């Protein structure tokens, strides 16, 4: 059948973005036919491959030499494993549940020169319309559990947080099924503003007697790349577009940790109410994936100058700040920091600390 590529990436940076801490990034569940050392070894390799895809943000992670050499030794990276059983298509299936070491997995990726994508990840809003035997309607968990489950399974393979519109009166006043069906992206973008997500997956799905047809648009940057697809299985429709979303986000947020000092930038942070705020600020900055070290240069009252040692660009660090909502752009920092004797031209940017427990 003819396949036409159609995937649209249009940007949404409306201030702080909605993010979610993704759990179980370092866990995997692999089906096995039986117990035994040979089955355990093969399953551990497959489990590690799944984990590496999620953590690196790279589907092709297993093609790298360091990873290929590590997969047969996957058991050495395990924290623990256990067997479990559950029904699959009405039959009892044996699984091995693996928990891999976060430290060892991250070390492997760094040694291979591959990125590590932090657990705190941007959400993607999924706003779709389906045309099936009941007519055209918005996709929701209540009306279309099969579609939602297929989306969630594809997203779980990449560690991608999804969120669906609540479809309340505000949503319905902002956006109609007809606008989504006609791919009115301006209308979708406006309706989605309330959700503050980094990405929007929108489009239409048509259910035929023996197959599916779909047209999608992913709104995320200024690039446009559309995806039209037809397939017998729903997963074969949804998986490629979910992978495209994950690839784009990983390119923005995953960080290659070289272990070597990179750029150094000075930032001014205001809104520091007390010593506890100051301690929390430094702890937060040291935990940002792209920040290697955060060294205070000057502190006075509610303001501080911090020198950041980065393993990437300051622009990427700012994306994490927007995602976490703990440091927001400060358009009125005042001039108190000038007492630090640091030339203004050496200050990269200004932020305000959002004090909260």
What are the pLDDT digits (tens) for 113-142?
999 999 989 999 999 999 998 899 999 999
Q: How many CB atoms lie within 10 A of CB 251?
A: 12
DSSP H or E run through 68: helix 65-70
What global pTM score does this model have?
A: 0.80
Contact 207, 196 (CB under 8 A): no
Distances (CA, A) of 145 to 129, 150, 153: 13, 8, 12
What would the DSSP string read from start to end of 232-286? SSHHHHHHHHHHHHHHHHHHHH-EE--SS---EEEEEEE---SHHHHHHHHHHHH
- pLDDT value of residue 85: 95
The residues of the chain scoring below 70 in pLDDT are 1-17, 221-224, 258-262, 335-338, 356-357
Nearest to 221 by CA among 187, 251, 180: 251
* Domains in the chain: ranges and CATH: 27-116 (no CATH), 119-253 (3.40.50), 264-353 (no CATH)
């Amino acid at each position: 059948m003819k396949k036409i590529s159609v995937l649209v990436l249009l940007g949404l940076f409306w201030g702080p973005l909605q993010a979610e801490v993704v759990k179980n990034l370092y866990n995997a569940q692999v089906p096995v036919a039986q117990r035994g050392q040979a089955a355990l070894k093969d399953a551990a390799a497959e489990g590690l491959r799944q984990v590496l895809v999620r953590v690196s943000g790279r589907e092709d992670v297993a093609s790298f030499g360091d990873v290929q050499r590590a997969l047969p030794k996957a058991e050495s990276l395990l924290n623990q494993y256990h067997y479990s059983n559950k029904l699959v298509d009405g039959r009892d299936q044996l699984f091995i549940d693996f928990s891999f070491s976060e430290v060892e997995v991250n070390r492997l990726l760094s040694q291979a020169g591959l990125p590590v994508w932090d657990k705190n990840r941007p959400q993607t809003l999924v706003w779709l319309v389906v045309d099936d035997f009941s007519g055209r309607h918005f996709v929701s968990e209540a009306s279309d559990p099969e579609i939602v489950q297929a989306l969630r399974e594809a997203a779980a393979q990449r560690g991608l947080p999804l969120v669906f519109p609540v479809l309340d009166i505000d949503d319905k006043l902002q956006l109609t099924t007809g606008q989504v069906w006609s791919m009115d992206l301006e209308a979708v973008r406006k309706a989605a503003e309330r959700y503050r997500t980094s990405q929007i997956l929108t489009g239409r799905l048509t259910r035929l007697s023996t197959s599916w047809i779909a047209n999608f648009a992913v709104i995320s940057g200024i690039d446009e790349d559309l995806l039209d697809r037809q397939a017998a299985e729903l997963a074969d429709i949804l998986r490629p577009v979910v992978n495209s979303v994950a690839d784009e986000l990983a390119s923005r947020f995953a960080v290659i940790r070289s272990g070597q000092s990179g750029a150094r930038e000075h930032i001014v942070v205001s809104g520091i109410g007390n010593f506890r705020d100051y301690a929390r600020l430094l702890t937060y900055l040291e935990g940002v994936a792209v920040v290697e070290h955060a060294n205070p240069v000057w502190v006075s009252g509610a303001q501080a100058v911090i020198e950041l040692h980065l393993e990437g660009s300051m622009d990427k660090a700012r994306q994490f700040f927007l995602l976490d909502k703990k440091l927001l752009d400060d358009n009125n920092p005042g001039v108190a920091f000038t007492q630090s004797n640091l030339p203004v031209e050496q200050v990269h940017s200004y932020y305000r600390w959002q004090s909260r427990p």
